[in-house]
């Protein structure tokens, strides 16, 4: 899964371990959940970390929800669940890997 390189140009906030935003391990980097977006540091600026295309998380039998025990992160118009280093979003009867 690849992500677009979409710079968040008007982002003056410096994310870090004590910034107050949820940290999300995402592959080889850390995203920060901020105002419904996921930001990652890249080349001295912050990018919107969004997947390209539709990536189904096959074989995912676990049903996420309010009491499933996984952290919830608001992501645009839906909620992602942090699970085993992935962000899962419900989509048309299956789970997508964000």
DSSP per residue over 34-47, as a string?
ETTEEEEEETTEEE
DSSP-based helix, strand, coil % in the chain, nearest 5: 0, 45, 55
pTM score of the predicted model: 0.61
Please give the Cα distance from 90 to 94 (Å, whole number). 6
pLDDT for position 8 = 60
What are the residue boundaries of the structural domains of the chain, listed by start?
15-52+66-97
Tell me if 66 sits within 8 A of 73, measured CB to CB.
Answer: no
pLDDT for position 78 = 85
Please give the Cα distance from 81 to 74 (Å, whole number). 9
Task: Kindly give the confidence (pLDDT) of every residue in the chain, 98 residues in length, as a single tens digit, with 9 standing for 90 and above.
Answer: 445 556 666 667 788 888 888 888 877 888 888 777 788 888 888 887 776 666 777 777 788 888 888 888 887 788 888 877 777 888 888 888 77
């Amino acid at each position: 899964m690849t992500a677009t390189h979409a710079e968040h140009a008007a982002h003056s906030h410096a994310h870090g371990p004590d910034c107050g935003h949820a940290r999300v391990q995402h592959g080889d980097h850390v995203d920060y959940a901020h105002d419904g977006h996921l930001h990652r540091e890249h080349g001295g600026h912050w990018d919107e970390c969004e997947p390209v295309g539709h990536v189904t998380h096959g074989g995912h039998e676990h049903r996420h929800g309010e009491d499933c025990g996984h952290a919830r992160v608001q992501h645009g118009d839906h909620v992602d669940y942090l699970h085993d280093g992935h962000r899962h979003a419900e989509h048309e009867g299956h789970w997508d890997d964000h």
